[in-house]
Amino acid sequence: MAIELPPLPYADDALAPHISEQTISFHYGKHHAAYVNNLNGLIDGTDLADASLEEIVRTAAPGALFNNAAQVWNHTFYWNCMSPNGGGNPTGDLAAAIESSFGSVHAFKAQFKADAVGNFGSGWTWLVREGDGVAIVKTDDADTPLAHGQTALLTIDVWEHAYYLDFQNARPAYVDAFIEHLLNWGFVAANFTA
């Protein structure tokens, strides 16, 4: 069973003007697709050929297999963290957990932005479930909360290919656009209650 490139949850141009169709074509159509192709090449003919993506991420040793599997999982998760009608604020139990953990939604957004902007080099910034609450974690390169037994709720890709065509080196502007205009709180809430 080959790992497949899942379809985007919106049209290639749906996140414009915040993330352009050109960025999506490269990021999804080239980077994400390459991770899928590389992963299938690595598992072909092995005992992982029929394993789920999550199984591969959880069991792979550091190296090419883990990196490609984790990047497939991370990117698939990331696309769902955005919506053309995103932004705003969380509600319900998720909002209560964020307020309990960070003091306010505003404080969470400020901390998430600071951590995403300050995530050195290539990586990801995540909101994860932690007991009854939530916490922000940063991972380098392809690392993912899934590999550490954590439940991911939200992520932002801070590899340069995620934003360079639209924002050049202005990572703070990309993070602002993500939080204020694209963040899919419905997806985050569904992960929180799952």
| pLDDT per residue as tens digits for the range 43-63 | 999 999 999 999 999 999 999
Q: Is the pLDDT of residue 14 over 90?
A: yes
Strand 151-157 vs strand 123-130: parallel, antiparallel, or unpaired? Answer: antiparallel
Kindly tell me the burial class for residue 158, based on how many C-beta atoms sit within 10 Å of its own C-beta (0-12, 13-18, 19 or more). buried
Query: What separation, in Å, do the N-terminal and C-terminal C-alpha atoms of the chain show?
Result: 26
| pLDDT per residue as tens digits for the range 107-126 | 999 999 999 999 999 999 99
Q: Is the pLDDT of residue 132 over 90?
A: no
Domains of the chain and CATH, by start: 21-80 (1.10.287.990), 92-193 (3.55.40.20)
Q: CA 62: distance to chain centroid?
A: 20
Question: How many residues are given for the chain?
Answer: 194
Among 194, 184, 182, 179, which Cα is nearest to 93's?
194
What pTM, to 2 d.p., does this model score?
0.97
